[in-house]
Amino acid sequence: MNAVALPRLAVTAGEPAGVGPELLIRLAATPLAANFIAVADRGLLERAAARCGTAIELIDDDGAPLAARAAGTLRVRHIPLAAEEQPGRPDPRNAAHVLTTLAEAADGCMSGRYDAVVTAPLQKSSMNDGLGIRFSGHTEFFAERSRSDVVMMLASPELRVALATTHLPLAAVPAAITADGLTRTLRIVHAELRDKFGFAAPRIAVLGLNPHAGESGHLGREEIDTIVPVLEALRAEGLHLLGPLPADTAFVPAQRAGYDAVLAMYHDQALPVLKSEAFDRTVNLTLGLPFIRTSVDHGTALDLAGSGRADPSSLIAAARMALELSARRATRG
């Protein structure tokens, strides 16, 4: 009888000067039942392992199925750096390298070479400086690469939060909340809560944009003009939607019992709630992609890079979630 092959998870190292490379080494040291393929520079990983004092065996990935992986071993798809990393000091010359790792991981997922991608954090400022084009984040890059409508969700075991808008200046948020965009976002969140998380009839709490959800129009009209009409139209289709709720009280325990996920209007409306209560357990995932993508809930932590002190918990949680989602997809066929 053939042994069952382990899921092939592409793991990108993110910003070479950040904590990503050392977190990959810490991930590989776990006994998780996955064939991790680091899409990264081999020398970068060797140096990261040396800095954390962790033994690692790097093996060039030949695409062969693997029935078991020994902790401390890691397959590598070598993508060369442009310049050797200096921990804590991102070098924009490496931005194209980082972009190539993301493209390889996304294309590999879409062609079936990988079962999922797990990403370590990148430095958005360095990507913008080095590429000379606007680069907002992994979420937007993977959406464009796969020509998909996507939604950013951060999920801890206790709370799931999706975002109506992602990486844009606060001043641009109100204009970015449109009936069309909200409708597409809510349809994706609803479908993915069912398909990825197994909720037969997901309940989604939608936050208002303004204080007190607009106070009947006295503190802003986005709720009346845009959010409420979208909710009413989608309720008529059978979606279970609450709100628009005032954001300041939407996360208190009594409210949480009434929903399976929250849709927040902008990045910092809800992510501080998650990150302050579950920084080590939260996973960032992209809904709506034709492949599974999970990530850490933190950034490059340049102040810790190279010290070996960065906490790998969120990357490990992201890998676990990618494995669970791959298994669920395999069961659904």
Ligand X SMILES: NC(=O)c1ccc[n+]([C@@H]2O[C@H](COP(=O)([O-])OP(=O)(O)OC[C@H]3O[C@@H](n4cnc5c(N)ncnc54)[C@H](O)[C@@H]3O)[C@@H](O)[C@H]2O)c1
**Which residues would be at the binding site for ligand X (CB under 6 A)?**
14, 19, 121-125, 138, 284, 295-296, 298-301, 303-304, 310-311
Exposure letters 88-112 (e unless 16+ CB within 10 A, then b): bebbbebbebbbebbebbbebbeee
145 binds, among ligand 4TP, ligand X, none (CB under 5 to 8 A by kind): none
Among residues 147 and 332, whose Cβ is nearest to ligand 4TP? 147
209 binds, among ligand X, ligand 4TP, none (CB under 5 to 8 A by kind): none
> Is there a contact between 95 and 122 (Cβ–Cβ < 8 Å)?
no
Among residues 49 and 251, whose Cβ is nearest to ligand 4TP? 251
310 binds, among ligand X, ligand 4TP, none (CB under 5 to 8 A by kind): ligand X
Among residues 170 and 201, whose Cβ is nearest to ligand X? 170
Residue 178 gets which letter from DSSP?
A: -
Q: Does 271 bind ligand 4TP (CB under 6 A)?
A: yes
Least Å distance, CB 270 to ligand X, is 14
Q: Does 138 bind ligand 4TP (CB under 6 A)?
A: yes
Least Å distance, CB 62 to ligand X, is 29
CA torsion, ordered 2, 6, 8, 13, to nearest 10 deg:
-150
- DSSP per-residue string spanning 292-325: EEEE-SS---TTTTTTT-S--HHHHHHHHHHHHH
Tokens 């398909």 found at: 195
Rounded Cα gap, residues 311 and 229, in angstroms: 43
Q: Does 297 bind ligand 4TP (CB under 6 A)?
A: yes
User: Can the peptide bond before residue 246 be classed as cis, meaning omega within 30 degrees of 0?
Assistant: no
Among residues 210 and 294, whose Cβ is nearest to ligand X? 294
Written as six digits, the tokens of 270 are 């809800």
66 binds, among ligand 4TP, ligand X, none (CB under 5 to 8 A by kind): none
The distance in angstroms from the start CA to the end CA of the chain is 22
Select the span of 1-9, 16-24, 134-142, 233-241 touching ligand 4TP (CB under 6 A). 134-142
* Crossing angle for the helix pair 313-332 and 20-28, to the nearest 10 degrees: 60
> Is there a contact between 283 and 316 (Cβ–Cβ < 8 Å)?
no
Q: How far is CA 143 from the centre of its chain?
A: 12
Among residues 123 and 223, whose Cβ is nearest to ligand 4TP? 123
Least Å distance, CB 39 to ligand 4TP, is 15
Q: Does 284 bind ligand 4TP (CB under 6 A)?
A: yes
Rounded Cα gap, residues 193 and 205, in angstroms: 13
Among residues 197 and 279, whose Cβ is nearest to ligand 4TP? 279
- Contact with ligand 4TP (CB under 6 A): which of 20, 137, 208, 214? 137
139 binds, among ligand 4TP, ligand X, none (CB under 5 to 8 A by kind): ligand 4TP
How many residues bind to ligand 4TP according to rule CB under 6 A? 8
Nearest in space to 32 (alpha carbons), one of 330, 318, 331: 318
Least Å distance, CB 303 to ligand X, is 5
Residues that bind ligand 4TP (CB under 6 A): 137-139, 267, 271, 284, 295, 297
